[in-house]
Structures are given as structure tokens and as C-alpha cells.
Amino acid sequence: MKHRQFPLSSICVVILGTLLSGCGQDPVSDKAEAPRPVNVITLPEHSASQTLRFSGEIRSHQRAQLAFRVAGTVDTILVKEGDKVSKGEVLARLDPHDFRVQRGEIAAMLKEAKAASRLAEVELKRTRQAVNDKAMASINLDRAASANAQARARVQTLQQSLAKAEDALGYSELRAPFDGVIGQRFIDEHEQTAPGVPVLSLHQPRILEAVVDVPEQQIGLLKTGMGANLSWYRQDAAVRAVSRELASLPDPLKRTHEVTFRLLDSSAELVPGKSVSIELSLPGSAQLHCLPASAVKSQGSENRVMTVRAGQVIGVTVEVVSQRHDSLCVKGQLFAGDKVVTAGSALLKERQPVRLIKQVAQS
């Protein structure tokens, strides 16, 4: 059997034709990215009012920790915790012995100084007369005048020292600065104390206030004069309150600001030290939306949320205004009807196709 042999030129023509025929065809396109399923929340037509809740305690509006102004040994404490006292009433005394001895010593030194001053004044008069009569050199007059001035200054110094000793003896008694009730006792009789060390606490329970700690992220939302409701465990009736003072600087450890509320109503259950909760509502804002914390993702120094538009995710930069235990209140270019991804936003890319599997209307 004879095999047919094709010329080499024919084979080259066939191969070249095959290559040329493939040049005009597009490569096989990659498979389109499948839409990612997401849950979204639909923003309402208007933003509902935001409710803030804080924990705190009841305090007396007028209160003080009382301490002696001088050091000494506590001799007598005349009151007990819970006693009612009047302004000016003696509450405790230090041992007065040392103060009386010091006062007596200075009083004796003052008498001696006054006698020396009288003698110096007499000597000055005699020396002046002798100098005028040319019986004594003028230098002696200068010396007598100096001695008289020193004696008078000595008297004045001891008079001031005696006044301080009298004050110290008076400070050995601790008196009530206002009418009130003894809250606590921090020291016992016969113990040594120093100036400024608390001995007793005094408060006026007729006028009460609530004090709460507000986080740094939320202090900007509060101002004085805001109404609030005060509640506590097993309360019988709500008590109205109004914000009165806002601390401008935070606590260095807790990083919270202390806010004081004045109580507008009274209740027999409210006593100093009682734990309470404060709830206040902020006016609604068309630009403020409270979203689940998982809906906000951080990118460098800015925060973003992912919205769904025409089947794709579009990132929107927002500013976090306040924070609650389960949500963040933000403002930015968000509008009523926008669909915001509530979970997994950190895994989404700009303009990535998505598919909605669950929509929740924001309340």
C-alpha cells in the first residue's frame, strides 16, 4: 500500500490558516460574580427620638465632710450617726490641754514684751532730754530710738501669736456649718487626727439630687435644663428631674462626666446613697439615625456604612454622634428609604453586587 505524501508547503498553509482563524475570536469570558446575600435595615421617613439611660445615686444637695483645722487628739465626739444637729452646734472636741498651755505661754511673753517696751520708751525720753541738754552724745539717741522700735515690734509680733493661739483653741471644737443630719463617723475618740482629715459627714436630706456618670461619647448630647424621669428598683411612681450641672472635665480614671439632676418630685423611698436610673429623651433629628453597631465599619480615621442601591453596595461616610449598648447613632448622607447593610459590611467591597435576603424597617 502506498502512502500519499503531501507537500511541505501544503502543511504550512493549513497550520497558518488555523492560527489566523483564531486571532479574531474573543477569549472565553470569566463567570460573572454571584451576588452576595445580605441583611439590610430600611431607614424611616423621620428619626424617632433617642432615649438615653444612665445609672447613678441619690445625694443630698447640701453635704460636707467635716474636719478639724488643727492637729490633736480627739477628746470627745458628741454626736452619733443619724443625729440631727443645728448650725453652730459643737460636734466634737480635741484635747485642749496643749492649746491652753501654748496660749498661756504666749500671753506671759506678751506681758514681758509690753514691760520692756514701756522701759524702752522711758529710756528714749531720758536720752532725748540729755542730748538736748548737751549732756550726752547724739549717737545714744539713735540707739535708744532703735531699742524702742524693736520693743514695740516685739509686742506686735506676740499679739499676733496670741491671736493665733486663741484661734487654735477655738478650732479644737468642731461645729456644724449648717442644719442637717450626721451621715457618717470616720474616727473614734482618743485617736490622733490632722488638719483636713474627715471626722464626720453632714448632709441636709430635705433637698435631694441625682448624680450620674455620662460617657465622653454622649456628654455632648446633654445640656442644662433637660427633663428626665428617675426610676429605681420596685418603684411605686416615677419622679421627674431636670439636669442642673454638667461637669466640663471627665474623671481621670473612669473617663466619664458627672451630671447632676435636681428632683422635681419627692418620694419617701428616695434617701441619700440609693441607686437609681435616669432616662431622658432627645428630640428626633432627620439627620440622626441609630443603627446596629455591626452596620458601622471603621476605615482608618473615618466610619462608613454600606447602603444597597440598584443591587450594589455603596459606601457612605458617617459621623458617630453617640453610642448605646447595642447601637450607634450616626449622621451623614443617609436618607429615608435607604437600605443599610446590618451585618458583614466589613467584608463587602465598593459596588459589589448583593442580594437582599432579609429587610427590617427601622422603628
CB–CB of 209/59 below 8 Å? yes
Strand order in the sheet with 192-193: 173-175, 90-94, 72-77, 192-193
Give the mean pLDDT of 300-306.
86
On the question of pLDDT at 313 being above 50, the answer is: yes
For residue 235, the model assigns a pLDDT of 81
Write the CA distances from 69 to 66, 171, 191, integer angstroms. Answer: 10, 6, 16
Query: Does domain 38-48+285-361 fall into CATH 3.40.50.720?
Result: no
Closest by CA position to 88, among listed 179, 176, 172: 176
> Residue 200: pLDDT band by 50, 70, 90 thresholds?
very high
pTM of the model: 0.60
**DSSP reduced 3-state for 211:** strand
For residue 166, the model assigns a pLDDT of 95
Q: Which residues pair with 259 in a beta bridge?
A: 212, 246
Per residue in 207-260, pLDDT tens? 899 999 998 878 888 889 999 999 998 887 779 999 999 998 999 998 899 999
CA distance 189 to 94: 9
> Residue 325: pLDDT band by 50, 70, 90 thresholds?
low
Give the mean pLDDT of 69-95.
95
Write the CA distances from 160 to 102, 119, 153, 172, 362, integer angstroms. Answer: 13, 21, 11, 19, 76
For residue 55, the model assigns a pLDDT of 92
For residue 302, the model assigns a pLDDT of 87
DSSP 294: G
CA distance 269 to 238: 11
CATH of domain 96-171: 1.10.287
Phi then psi dihedrals of residue 340, to 5 deg = -110, 130
Per residue in 2-58, pLDDT tens? 445 545 444 444 444 554 444 544 444 445 678 888 888 888 765 556 678 899 999
Per residue in 117-150, pLDDT tens? 999 999 999 998 988 888 888 888 889 999 999 9
Instruction: Please report, for the chain, the start and end positions of each structural domain, with discontinuous segments joined by +.
Output: 38-48+285-361, 54-61+206-282, 96-171
Q: How many residues does the chain have?
A: 363
CA distance 313 to 348: 8
On the question of pLDDT at 296 being above 60, the answer is: yes
On the question of pLDDT at 170 being above 90, the answer is: yes
For residue 284, the model assigns a pLDDT of 60
> Residue 294: pLDDT band by 50, 70, 90 thresholds?
confident
CB–CB of 41/279 below 8 Å? no
CB–CB of 340/307 below 8 Å? yes
Q: How is domain 54-61+206-282 classified at the CATH fold level?
A: Elongation Factor Tu (Ef-tu); domain 3 (2.40.30)
For residue 95, the model assigns a pLDDT of 95
State what percent of residues in the chain have pLDDT above 70. Answer: 85
For residue 324, the model assigns a pLDDT of 66
CB–CB of 345/297 below 8 Å? yes
105 vs 322 pLDDT, higher one: 105
CB–CB of 64/201 below 8 Å? yes
CA distance 12 to 125: 148
For residue 332, the model assigns a pLDDT of 84
Q: Which residues pair with 289 in a beta bridge?
A: 330
Give the mean pLDDT of 65-93.
95
Cβ-based neighbours of 38, under 8 Å, separated by 6 or more: 308, 313, 341, 343, 344, 348, 354, 355, 356, 357
Place of cell 471603621: 298
Rounded (5°) CA angle 148-149-152: 85
CA distance 212 to 229: 13
Place of cell 536720752: 127
Mean pLDDT of the chain: 85
